[in-house]
Structures are given as structure tokens and as C-alpha cells.
A and B are shown apart, each in its own frame.
Chain A
């Protein structure tokens, strides 16, 4: 099951090279839809009570180097897998409705990207995780560079993409060294293994944990991106083709946050506790900086991009609250944010097609003749600002709850992020949808093609808003065991029960 989930997209992509050009997009969409089906089946068979891995695959891959091909599903990744499958189906379908240059290659890269992303969520071997983490970059390098837009007066798509690759690989190459060091120090001359579960049983000495922690943290923080490591983001976001950007922003950023939960917390507990406040400061800085930048940007993509920086800051803060509540909220919020930001980029694409610009100052009045589009956008906006009643509200509530328990000062600062998100989300909505309609802007209802892509995503948001327990119930057991190593308990509930 896990194997077919992982390799279905790539298999479809490779076969797709032989499909006639006209149908390449539809073939790829079929591939993502099949993957989505497998992901749903996986969720259906998921045992929500268990904290251990399920549906595991474990094969000796390179015995000479101690690397195993080992995959598994647990509460941490099951919904991220589903999110990946959902967003990729939407993104691929959105791209298939539009004309693409060199469609064979475009869709092959999209599907390779899906396999790599699923792989990094599924991997239970540290080295396999690093491998998939790096592999994700390759398809997106091509997608952003070859199908992106050169900006007038700015860097070319190729230059912007190169910047992104260099930034992200700085982190992930150091992570490769750190991963190998972890295994070797932990083996101490004995049997070399990269299995995350086994490594967690033999924690390293505190001195080694310190530097290894930062090598991993660098990789994950760049990927998100966090404040000070976000330099690649504006250029790459402006260059990227929107269908690829939707999945990139929706899913790939989460891999960084997921890496903290899967790798850093269980493997380096001492360093995590030691550097908890440093990471929290970075997280809060990301919230504040991302929000403030999102206020001021006039490019629609960048508003969404910087809002992601802020949101990922929230997720990081939740993880580094080092309590079960915070981590629960972080996992929920990862899914929520993916579900919000991907439709946001789809809407950006639709808006740009109608107004011929991505500049907020030249937009407005779009809601006039497009009530359905406006309504869909409104739902996405309200979810972004974590309106009570939305799943995002629950997620942020859990995160703040966890943070209050452990670091109350940080929680107060983080709360300001909630208020600011309301401002930039509503600003985006009003500037595009309300106000006077400028010359040359066409207010047009969305057609059925975009509707097919957008409506299911919005339905997912609504569904989660009604029943967030769907996620919380299944993730809780795994999250508990992930933070257990840090002594993270659930003080509030235990107190209530007593």
C-alpha cells in the first residue's frame, strides 16, 4: 500500500511520456487522482488508536552502507500524505486545463515532485528521508526555472530558481553530514543503522546533539522558510508557474516542520530543550516579519508568500512549545495551511488571468459579476485569518494553548500574529474583490474548469471546519509519543481529569 502510494505518481509520469501531447495533462491528473484514491484507502485502514508505525515496508537497500528502504505511516504523516495527494490532484488538474509548453516534461516533473514529497513524508530511515528531501528540489528546479516567468528589471526565472536551490541545499547537504554523523556516533563501532526508531532509542551525547541539531534545523528552517533564511522566497515565488507554486507552498514548506517532529524532537531531545527558546524567537520573528511584510506587499503572490512565513512561524512555535497540545495544533495547522494556501494561489492565477496583472494596486471590484468566485475566496480568506469555526482556529487555539503552558511570554507575542493575519487576509480580499473596478479589468464568473479545481478544495476546508476531530483523533497518539521523549505531557487535561 505504502509502496504503491509512493511510486504511482512517478510510474504515471514515466508512462505519460508515451501519451500523445494533448492528453499528457489528463494522464497526469489521472495519476494524481489514483494516488489520492490510494491515500484515502490508507487513511480508511488507519488504526487511530495506535502510536506506532503502520503499513510498514522495510527492505535492506544498501546493506553495505546501512541504509534501509523503510517506509511507514503514523499519525504524524498520514494527513500530510493525504494533503499532498489532494493538492497535487488540484494543481495538476489546474495545469492540465491550461496550455503548457513541453507538456510531457512539465507533467513528468510534477509527478516526480509528488513522489519525492510523499517519499520524504513516508521515509522512516534517516538517510532515505534526506534523499527524498533533496530529491524534491530537482523537479521544482525545472518547474520553476523552465516554466517560470522572467521578471522585468529583476532576476530571470533561472537565476531566481538557482538562488532557491542554493539556499535549500545549503541546509540539506549539512543535514546529510549530520544524519551520517548521528548514525555513526550512535552505532559507536557497532551495527550501523539509520532507522529513525532505533536511533531514537540511543540518544547521542549532549555535545554531539548540539551541532547536529543546528545542521538539521538549518535545513528545515530554510525550507519553511523562517525569518532570516527566507531570502530565496520572494524571487522564487514571483518566478514560479502557479500550479507548481500552489503545491510547493502548500506542501513542501510543511516538510520542514514535519522534519522537526519526525527527526529532531525524537532524536535530539536534549538539544531541543536547550535551544527551545532560540527556535521560538525565530518562530516569533517569522510571525511578526511575515505579517508585516504581508501588509505591505503589493504583489498578490508575495502577500500569500509572506503570510506563509507567518503561518509556518506559528507551526514552528507550536512544535517548540514541546507539549502535546502544541504539537497537535501544529500538525492540524500544517494541513489547514496547505488547504488554504493552495486555493489562494489558484485564485491568484484566476485573478491574474482576468486583470492581466498580479499587482494589488491595479486590481479591484472583481466581486461585481462573480459572486461564486467571491464566495469561495471569502471562505478561504476567513480560514486564513483563523475565524472561529474554522479548523485554522482550532489549530491556532491548540498551538497557543501549548505555548501558554510552557512559555507564556512567547504566547503573548504569538497572539499578535493572530490579529495581524486578519489584517492582511482581509486586505487581500478587499483590494481584489471590492473597491472600484479599474479599466481593463474583466469581472467574470469562474468557469466550470476552475470550479472543479477550487470547489473541492474549499469543501475540504469546510469539512475540516466542521469536523477537526478527524485529524486530531488520529494524530494524537503519535504526537504524544513524539514529544514524550521531552517530558511533554498534557498538564491541562491531566489537571482537569484529577
Chain B
């Protein structure tokens, strides 16, 4: 039986061939780099969203936090007179701190993640708008900084290197360390995980603080890519990130999922968005097709199970010799 990730990979390859056939310049290296640059921020958010959703949680505040961090980064640099590396370091700390706020409320007070992050979703965006009164924007960053979002380093767009580091880090965390197993255990049954002696609170804190930290990193990359920090930066990114994670096969109920699935999810959406422009289709089609893609991919993985259920059993009753047959 095909795994969800395999189906998604096939979809991605199909997208690639289709757009390459209809778009003259879709397959060029330049365009491949464009796709990577445009999906770096949402990709980063999707990566750190994966462990959170694995624990059965969710973080709706990452897009707003991206906006807030972009504003604070600009503020620290322009108004507080910090050097750019210093401002970046402070922004990353603030991001981690904001993630810590989510973590405290979710892990410490055991409030539902959906409600806590719905609150901070408004709170962070509200702060960003209050600081700038909705009109102040930060621009005129030096070229050396803009290179982070607009230039290449060692053959790849600069921000892709950051993305790769985070991707490898999160992959190792989820798939090669005990952390990953505890995330899944919490997702399956938080009380069970607690009784099994897992430090549930500490693991949750790790997941949400990491999300805050990476949202701040995404904010800096976003600012460098646009050359502008404005209070509406990253509006709606949390939903794109969640879509990519779920498309990648991670169960929204937690417990099941993979980081490479998320990467494929991000790629499938990014290629679709970009490819439609090359196929000269209007942008609104992308929204529709992303929805269709999500439903088809989820349906395709559910279908075999459904068929297996519907198929009449051939050797009924089941042989007694295999009573623990996994179904």
C-alpha cells in the first residue's frame, strides 16, 4: 500500500511535469530558486508547526508573531540604534519569549492550544499595529542585509541555507531523537505520556518556544526579501503552514506525521502557486486547487483503508492462529 508521503511525492512530480510542459520557463533554475525563496518563510513556519501538531496542539499565532518580530526588528535597528546583527539576535530572543508565553499558558496552565494561540494571534498582531499605528514602515535596510533575502550564497538563495539548517534540525529532533517519540506519545494520549513518566510540560515548552524562535527567524528573512517591515507582514501565514503540515500527512489530532511529509506539503503548494502563473492561470485558481489538493491527498490516503473495510473477508472467520493481527 502506498504511504501518504509517496502519494504526495507523486503529486509533486506530476505537478512538475505538467507545469514544465505548459510553462516555457517553469523548469529553469531561476524559477526553481524563486519557488524556494517565496516558500522559505511559510516553509519555516510549517517545519516548526509539525512537532506542535504531532503533540495534538496547534499554533495560530506564528503569522502574527512574524509580523510583530518584523516590526520589532525594524524598531530596534532604526530607532534604538542597534547594529543589524544585534537587532536580529534580540528579535530571535523576543520570538522565543513570545513562544514561551504560548508555552506557559498551554503547558503550565493546561489551557487548550487553539484558544491560547487564538488569543496571542490577536495580541501579537495588535502589538505590531499599535507600535506602528498601522502606518509606520521600516525600510532603507543596507544592501548587505537585503542580500539575505535577495541574493545567492554558495549557489543557492541565501535564505535557503537557513531553511535547510532548520529543516535538518527539526527532522533530527522529530525522527532521530527521543523528543520525537515523546511528541507522538503526547499526541496519542497526553495523560498516558504523563503516567509513563515523560516530561510532557517540558516537551510542549520546547515545541512552542522553537516555533516562536523560528517565526522570528522567518520575520528577519521576510524583511530582507521585501526590503520592508510592516505591521501586516505574514498575514494568514499560520493557515498556509497548517495546510502544508496537514497536506504532508500529519494528523491534526496528533501522534502521526513526519517532517519530510511537511516538506513535501510545502513543496506541493509552492510549486502549484508558482506553476499556475507560468501556465498563465489567474491566482485565485491557486486557492481552489490547494483546497482540492488537500482533499484529494487526504482522500487518497484514506481510500485504501476504506476499501479494505468494504471488501468482504475471504477467509472468514479469521484464523485463530493470528489473533494479534494489526488491522
A and B bind? no
A residues with a Cβ closer than 8 A to B are none
